[in-house]
Amino acid sequence: MEQKLTLGIDSGSTTTKAALFDGKEIVRTGMVPTGANPKESIQSLYQQMWSKDVAYTVSTGYGRALLDQADKQVTEITCHARGAAFLNPDIQAVVDIGGQDSKAILLDRDRNVVDFLMNDKCAAGTGRFIEVMMRTLGENLEEMDRFVQGKTPANITSMCTVFAESEIVSLLAKGVDKGDIALGVVQSICRRTAFFAQRLKLSGAVFFSGGLAQYEIFRSTMESFLKLPVHTHPLSQYAGAIGAAVIGYQKASRSWN
Amino acid sequence: MELIKELPAIFAEFGEQRKNSFVRAFELKQQNIPFVGVFCSYFPDELAMAMGACTVGLCSTSDETIPEAEKDLPRNLCPLIKSSYGFAKTDKCPYFYFSDLIVGETTCDGKKKMYEYLGKFKPVYVMELPNSQSPEALELWKKEIIKLKNKLEEHFGLPITEEKVRKAVHLRNELRRALREFYQVMRLDPVPISGLELYNVLNGASFRFDKAQVTQEIREMTQRIYDEYKTAHKYTKGPRILITGCPLGGVAEKTIRAIEENGGHVVALENCGGAKTVDKLVDEDAEDIYDALARRYLDIGCSVMSPNPNRLDLLGRLVEEYKVDAVVEITLQACHTYNIETLGIKQFVNEQLHLPYMSMETDYSTSDAGQINTRMTAFLEML
């Protein structure tokens, strides 16, 4: 029997991610920066990932309408939930910190979305917040775990990205250690996200996704604020794309049988 | 008093549609018909009708005049208040411009404080609306209604007799009955008309001045809808959505569209202009007609009331009557009373009605159209 694959593509504000699914496993992933031309990025990633074995394509994310070749568009809420539950079937909720929004999703017993919240009005509580702060500190986000090791968090009180940036500038001027400030920033965004997510009355294990989930410091800080077990996965940044591919497989396989 | 009968100086700069609205209002004014401008569903329309005046709604729905309003008012204030104030200031709204008297009520904090400034350049009269529905509140509200009657008589020099009030009560009730029968077409599944059409008819009816005629037209339209439904169905079945929350005027287009373009159907509007203000009638046979008016209006389930049990009662009835699958609440930015009530409404919808609920805060700009679309779609995918 010929191999049948489905492709999920998640066009996020910062990165565009893709996953190929064979009905059992994720066989391949890909990622490109979204940049200033999201349409070009999603097209080029599609070309990279596509092969004649791809039977069905689902696009998601804020640029989901930009891929004409997609068989279906599904919102990032549904895809994230499905992808997270695929990566870890024991979870009951998803907290995602994306590049320009953050979301909390509550799942039912059957891993369907029962409720969700989205913060999409403001950069505070999103990946953008961290990006701006790390730039102000002149540090690389990739080095986050090492950079904040053994540090004492500085108190960052501003919720607003613009005000927090000037708060950091004045902390730097006072000679506060950069690592302390970075840890303060991590705590600030995790605290904010946890308070926001708890409006859904979360219980049980939480899946943490988005680009920041790959750093242990964000996972452990999130856990301490949520007071719930927080899981992540090496592929958590691909949760949306994986969910799209899984949904695509369910749709497409109906016509195969 | 002398009625406002001249067109504003800025008239020449207006577009075609706005010029037409001005001209329509202008023609009514030439027939010596007074205009009473109002902001809220709490205004007892029947009193204005009893003296032959036009009641015109002044709740503005465009962000066009918000920058002008923000010269005087804080930025983080509800868009409805800012927009309305801006239209009053700039003479760009025919109804504002031709209003011989503007009647406000002490509803939300934003509106009642705005009226203080509005009163500096427009003739404003403010009724004291209680913030609860207690017997004492009813007593105060009845007094306020009688005070308004006296104010209108004095301001316009036109007598408002009980007989005229009773006639107006009957006429206004007939319009409410006709509107209710109209929106009841949405009991049908699949729906016979779109939610946007439902909204547009309800909204359009409030800008018609001949109540008897509009009542008649709405009844005919309702009949036509049933007749056409018998031969063909325009829509397929899909999730049936009830909308609740703030007045929808400035955001109806983008929110209802986001639901209906993604497979949902808006089957009921609980908001102002929808069931909230149409559902209940004034007791026509009451011995004391002012008491009946006071009861009817004080009973409106607006979030300015504390507590606000009538909103839950109406929501529960609508959900059952319209076989609603999910509830969407639309709130306007910085509308404290509705925004705070979202928690209680969510609990009521989730726990008592066992239905999904989503709330969304928005304003009169189009900047969040993409986000609204994503959230509505995700919500519909969930159903």
> SS3 letters for chain A?
CCCCEEEEEEECCCEEEEEEECCCCEEEEEEEECCCCHHHHHHHHHHHHCCCCEEEEEEECCCHHHCCCCCEECCHHHHHHHHHHHHCCCCCEEEEECCCCEEEEEECCCCCEEEEEEECCCCCCCHHHHHHHHHHHCCCHHHHHHHCCCCCCCCCCCCCHHHHHHHHHHHHHCCCCHHHHHHHHHHHHHHHHHHHHHHHCCCCCEEEECHHHHCHHHHHHHHHHHCCCEECCCCHHHHHHHHHHHHHHHHHHHHHC
The 3-state DSSP class for residue B329 equals strand
Q: Are residues A193 and A97 part of one domain?
A: yes
Q: Which residue in the set A62, A112, A116 is minimally distant from B378, CB to CB? A: A116
Query: How far apart, in Å, are the Cα atoms of A229 and each of A94, A209, A220, A240, B165?
Result: 12, 14, 9, 21, 66
- What the block records as the tokens of B80 is 């409805």
pLDDT of residue A257: 66
Query: Tens digits of per-residue pLDDT, B88-134?
Result: 999 888 888 999 999 999 999 999 999 999 999 999 999 999 999 99
B319-328 pLDDT, tens digit per residue, is: 999 999 999 9
Q: Do B378 and A120 touch (CB under 8 A)?
A: no
Read off the amino acid at residue B294. A
pLDDT score, position B23: 87
Please state, rounded to an integer, the average pLDDT across all residues of chain A: 92
- B123 and B214 housed in the same domain: no
Mean of pLDDT values over B355-369: 93
Residues of A with CB under 8 A from a CB of B: 62, 74-78, 101, 112-116, 118, 120-121
What 3-state DSSP class applies to B89?
Answer: helix
- Same domain? B249 vs B353: yes
* Pair B88, B216 in one domain: no
Q: How far is A48 from chain B (nearest CA, A)?
A: 27
- Give the nearest chain B residue to A61 (CA atoms): B374
Residues B266 and B243 sit within 8 Å (Cβ to Cβ): yes
Do B143 and B202 lie in one domain? The reply is no
> Best of A74, A77, A126, A196 to disrupt the B interface by mutation (most B CBs within 10 Å)?
A77
At residue B79 the predicted structure's pLDDT band, cuts being 50, 70 and 90, is very high
The predicted structure's pLDDT at residue A98: 86
| Interface probe, candidates A10, A60, A75, chain B, greatest B C-beta count within 10 A | A75
- Residues A195, A130: one domain? yes
Instruction: Show Cβ contacts of residue B99 under 8 Å, excluding neighbours closer than 6 positions.
Output: B4, B35, B36, B37, B56, B58, B122, B123
Domain identity same for B274 and B197: yes
Mean pLDDT of A122-138: 86
Cα–Cα distance measured from residue A38 to residue A66, given in angstroms and rounded to the nearest whole number: 8
Q: Are residues A221 and A244 in the same domain?
A: no
Same domain flag for B248 and B338: yes
- The DSSP secondary-structure symbol of B193 reads S
Instruction: Say if residue B14 is in the same domain as residue B155.
Output: yes
Which residues of chain A lie closer than 8 angstroms to B374, CB-CB? Answer: 62, 75-77, 118, 120
Identify the CA nearest to B45 among candidates B219, B205, B201, B227: B205
Same domain, A111 and A158: yes
Helix (H), strand (E) at residue B321: helix B309-321
- Do residues A70 and A27 share a domain? yes
Q: CA A253 to CA A4: how far, in whole Å?
A: 9
> Do B134 and B22 lie in a common domain?
yes
Write down the pLDDT at residue B92: 86
Of all residues in chain A, the one with the smallest CA distance to B368 is: A121
The two tokens of residue A125 are 């509580």
The reported pTM is 0.91
Nearest chain A residue (CA) to B355 = A114
Range of the domain at B137: 9-160
For position B283, which CATH number holds?
A: 3.40.50.11900
Is the confidence at residue B280, as pLDDT, over 70?
Answer: yes
Residue B177 within a domain? no
| pLDDT tens digit sequence for B310-321 | 999 999 999 999
Q: What is the average per-residue pLDDT within A139-156?
A: 92
> CA of B212: how far to CAs of B28, B168, B169, B172, in Å?
17, 10, 12, 8
**B227 contacts B170 by C-beta, under 8 angstroms:** no
The stretch B37-44 carries a mean pLDDT of 95
Residues B24-36: what's their mean pLDDT?
A: 91
Task: Say yes or no to pLDDT of B53 above 70.
Answer: yes
- Please judge whether B378 and A77 are an interchain contact, meaning their C-beta atoms are less than 8 angstroms apart: yes
The minimal CB distance from A75 to the residues B350, B368, B374 is found for B374
CATH number at residue A25: 3.30.420.40
Residues B207 and B146 in one domain: no
Tell whether B325 and B195 lie within a shared domain: yes
A114: chain B residues, CB-CB within 8 Å: 356, 382
- Is the predicted ipTM greater than 0.90, yes or no? no
Are B382 and A114 an interchain contact pair (Cβ–Cβ within 8 Å)?
yes
* Domain extent for A29: 5-82+237-256
Amino acid at B64: E
Task: Select from B350, B361, B370 the Cβ nearest to the Cβ of A62.
Answer: B370
d(C-alpha A56, C-alpha A73), whole Å: 11
* pLDDT tens sequence across A222-247: 999 999 999 999 999 999 999 999 99
The mean of the pLDDT values for chain B is: 94
Residues B206-248 pLDDT 10s: 888 889 999 999 999 999 999 999 999 999 999 999 999 999 9
| Residue A194 distance to chain B (closest CA, Å) | 18
| H or E stretch at B154 | helix B135-156
Tokens of B224: 């036509």
User: How far B364 CA lies from chain A's nearest CA (Å)?
Assistant: 14
| pLDDT given at position B5 | 83
- Domain count within chain A: 2
